[in-house]
Amino acid sequence: MYPAGKKSDPIEYSGDRSVESLIEFIKEKGTHGIEASIAEPLEFQGQGQAAPAATPEPTEGVAEKVKEAAAKVADAVIGDEGVHDEL
């Protein structure tokens, strides 16, 4: 470990590789004496279930309106004179 402010003076760790031991080593040998802990694992409720839809089901006629809008966009882009450069 290279403590803050002492990059030329590394401290070698030779303890076991458990998270608890590494936390204790950093707390004792680190420049700032940080407090750390192991977070408890989260338990998820409803695991494996899909989230509810953010938008409602499409209403009747939506597909037709989308087709009409797409036709208008195509007409505006292509038009009678070919493709418009500014679009």
- Please check whether residue 45 lies inside any domain of the structure: no
- Please check whether residue 17 lies inside any domain of the structure: yes
Whole-angstrom distance, CA of residue 52 vs CA of residue 56: 10
Whole-angstrom distance, CA of residue 38 vs CA of residue 48: 26
| Mean local confidence (pLDDT), 29-35 | 82
- Helices of type H across the chain: 19-29, 62-78
- Please check whether residue 84 lies inside any domain of the structure: no
State the residue range of the domain holding 29: 1-39
- Please check whether residue 1 lies inside any domain of the structure: yes
Count of the separate structural domains present in the chain: 1
pLDDT grade for 34, boundaries at 50, 70 and 90:
confident
pLDDT grade for 45, boundaries at 50, 70 and 90:
low
User: Which residues fall within 8 angstroms of residue 60, CB to CB, at 6 or more apart?
Assistant: none
- Please check whether residue 3 lies inside any domain of the structure: yes
